[in-house]
Structure 1
Amino acid sequence: MIKSLLMSLVCLIVFNLYLLLFDQKIEFENILYIDFLIGLILIIWLIWEITKRRNFQRLKKELCENPNQEAAFLLEDFENSDICFHDLKVYENRLRIEKNRYQDLENSIVNQIHEIKIPLSSLYLQNDDLQNQIDNTLLHLRDSQYGLSVEEIGMRLKDLLRDQRSQYDQMNRLLNLMLDSSRISSELTEIRIRKVPLKSLISRAIKDNSYRLIHYQFSLSLPEEELIVCSDDHWLSFVLNQLIDNAIKYRSENPKLSFSMEKIPGFVYLKIKDNGQGIASEDLPTIFEKGFTGTNKRNQKIKSTGMGLYFSKMILEKMQSSIDVESKKNEGTQFVIKIPINEFELWKENKIEDNQTFRK
């Protein structure tokens, strides 16, 4: 404002000198009249600017004293560093509150899950021990005591224990899903990018689900060659377990599950295909949405939370990977995961070193 006022006065002086020196026709009284009008306009402008600045300072003071209201959006016509610092503090405070909220939630869920997993592990051991004892006891039973053959007694008991084991597995999968999903939802999700042997990771996922795959007599097909990708082995295993779990839940009478890999420049396509119930065409565009179960919500025999595919897509995107699906009702489903091979394709805009740990 001061600079503008000085420039106006300089222009007025130059204008007067020009009239006095080069224009002899204008009388001195007329020059004074013109100067008076220009001065009056400058005074009015000066009063308006002072009033505007005072109102601005008052508003800025009120906003800066409010720790929950950003000021930059309301005072965007003015350039003031203290406004920026104030808004920065507001956002930092909000971010700190959200981080604490996420951390408290994650800690609470993790603690509860670990408390539940302790007795669950004990039940697993008891179940295995009981099966061994039954096998040993059946060798000494006599058929006349029970009216059933030893084989029939053993089959009934083993069926009971097998159902019990299936419930244990379901509890364990749900607990692991809760544990991992609490971490995925957090903005502080820790991702460790490293070179991962994809075939070995698939074999590990098969082993983790071997009990149910054997129980339901799945026919498996695995890739022959090993391919190395850049990903987080823990979170990629999480995705594979979710897809295998879906294949088991929505299996056909003669279930098949195949894994194949296709290498293209910079990426690997991992394809997981089953011959199960398939997905309705109207459900395909929304199967990755949070809580979506589609037609399964009307099927009481199949329990689904609608969160597995949602979390799988979320964590893959955080690892700069992607997932797509192809399916036909009553024919089967194929999921295709696109995974980077090297760090350059993975982080074109963020240079990182191999095996670097970071938060995303």
Structure 2
Amino acid sequence: MSFFTYLEEKITELLFQLFFLSLVSVVLLFYGVDMLFVVLLIIVFISIQGLLEWCMYQKKRSASRQIIDLVDGLQEAYYIADILPKPKEFQNEAYYYALKKACKAMNDEISRITEEKQAYQDYVEGFAHEIKIPIGALSLTFDNMKNYSLKKETDKIFQLVEQMLYYARSENTEKDYFVKQLYLDEVIHKVILKFRYSLMEHKVTIDIRDIEKIVYTDEKWLIFILSQIMQNAIKYFDKQENKLTIYSQDNETNILLMIEDNGCGIEASDISRVFEKGFTGSNRNKANAMGMGLYLSKRLCDRLGLHLDIASKEKEYTRLIITFPKGTVHNFSK
């Protein structure tokens, strides 16, 4: 707010002061006081009053700036009413009271919603854990019966339930991960074994090389991320000779794991959006896609302190790159 805007808000008070100054001047002149003295008196009064108003303006401006900085520095701005200094002006006290009531109502509503969300998340996690047991039993039964068609369908159900479970947990990874030393080749082989029937069905040739590396992260979360990438690759194979290439690259500060397929690829215009929730692309068969696999993979990589990137050329290849920082300790997102 400028100084002139501040004066406009006090126009009634200033007009009264000018009226009072004019009245005093007329009285002084009526009683024969020298006009020069009256003019000097008017100048002195206006100067002093102007200086006082300027000082008051600077004081209020400084107080306003402090409140603005206080609000900007708060991560959760709805707590502002709890730390704002209580105003002394009568009208501002009413605004302060209204703000306190509004913030209290908002915080109560946020607490209620948070409790409901946590209860729903607990229910989803509990349901997913319970339903995985009979699904696993069905999958094992069909495997023993060598009924691979039904086993494939039960495995799809299992993967969807697993995706739901990890999505529910994705906001609280720090409570559910355990960082340890992992041999990358062992983890890769576990994921390939998990999708062996789908890979055989699509007649996929697998080229694995240079993956005898050690990384530090949570094994369970890494297997899930790799499973989502593998599942995504299998879903979009479209050639007579499908090929999956997995290899790593050892740099000075990190280890890169590359997973490349020769599927339908991604349009250049879609590359920047592949990690968005629900995005399935404009050149893919959306009937079997929910757009959650890469979204979850990216989300979990970010939270685990890893980096997930993608490169692709339409009708040629899609390559996912996971970057593992070297060393036993690195920062994790909260």
TM-score computed with the length of structure 2 as normaliser: 0.67
Residue 111 of structure 1 is matched in structure 2 by 126
Amino acid at match of 1:289: E
Contact 1:269/1:337, CA 8 A, preserved across alignment: yes
Contact 1:278/1:328, CA 8 A, preserved across alignment: yes
Residue 128 of structure 1 is matched in structure 2 by 143
Of 290, 295, 301, the match for 1:305: 290
Residue 325 of structure 2 is matched in structure 1 by 340
Measure the CA separation in 2 of the matches of 1:295 and 1:192.
Answer: 38
Measure the CA separation in 1 of the matches of 2:208 and 2:176.
Answer: 30
Alignment of 1:166-315 (within 5 A): 166-186=152-172, 190-224=176-210, 226-251=212-237, 252-295=239-282, 298=285, 300=287, 303-315=288-300
Measure the CA separation in 2 of the matches of 1:166 and 1:199.
Answer: 25
Measure the CA separation in 2 of the matches of 1:222 and 1:299.
Answer: 29
Of 64, 68, 81, the match for 2:104: 68
Shift of 1:164: 1.4
Flag the 1:57–1:187 CA change in 2: closer, same or farther, 3 A. farther
Write out per-residue CA displacement over residues 148-195 of structure 1, whole angstroms, 9 at most, x where no aligned residue. xxxxxxxxxxxxx32212111111111111111111145866333333
- For structure 2, the residue ranges without an aligned partner over 5 or more in a row are 1-37, 54-59, 61-86
Contact 2:170/2:299, CA 8 A, preserved across alignment: yes
Measure the CA separation in 2 of the matches of 1:98 and 1:69.
Answer: 12
Shift of 1:265: 1.8
Percent identity, aligned pairs only, is 28
Contact 1:296/1:304, CA 8 A, preserved across alignment: no
Measure the CA separation in 2 of the matches of 1:277 and 1:166.
Answer: 23
Q: Which has the higher Rg, Structure 1 or Structure 2? A: 1
Shift of 1:249: 1.3
Equivalenced residue count is 267
Residue 328 of structure 1 is matched in structure 2 by 313
The 3-state SS of whatever aligns with 2:182 is strand
Contact 1:326/1:334, CA 8 A, preserved across alignment: yes
Flag the 1:230–1:98 CA change in 2: closer, same or farther, 3 A. farther
Measure the CA separation in 2 of the matches of 1:180 and 1:210.
Answer: 22
The higher relative CO (CA closer than 8 Å, separation ≥ 6) is in 1
Contact 1:63/1:69, CA 8 A, preserved across alignment: no
Amino acid at match of 2:242: P
Shift of 1:120: 1.7
Flag the 1:95–1:267 CA change in 2: closer, same or farther, 3 A. farther
The 3-state SS of whatever aligns with 1:116 is helix
Amino acid at match of 1:334: R
Contact 2:261/2:318, CA 8 A, preserved across alignment: yes
Contact 2:143/2:151, CA 8 A, preserved across alignment: no
Measure the CA separation in 2 of the matches of 1:218 and 1:269.
Answer: 23
Residue 164 of structure 1 is matched in structure 2 by 150
Measure the CA separation in 2 of the matches of 1:231 and 1:187.
Answer: 12
TM-score computed with the length of structure 1 as normaliser: 0.63
Contact 2:277/2:291, CA 8 A, preserved across alignment: yes
- For structure 1, the residue ranges without an aligned partner over 5 or more in a row are 1-29, 71-89, 132-160, 351-358
Contact 1:267/1:340, CA 8 A, preserved across alignment: yes
**Over aligned residues, Cα RMSD in angstroms?**
3.7
Residue 80 of structure 2 is matched in structure 1 by none
Write out per-residue CA displacement over residues 297-334 of structure 1, whole angstroms, 9 at most, x where no aligned residue. 6554xx11111001111111112221221222222211
Amino acid at match of 1:60: Y
Flag the 1:194–1:286 CA change in 2: closer, same or farther, 3 A. same
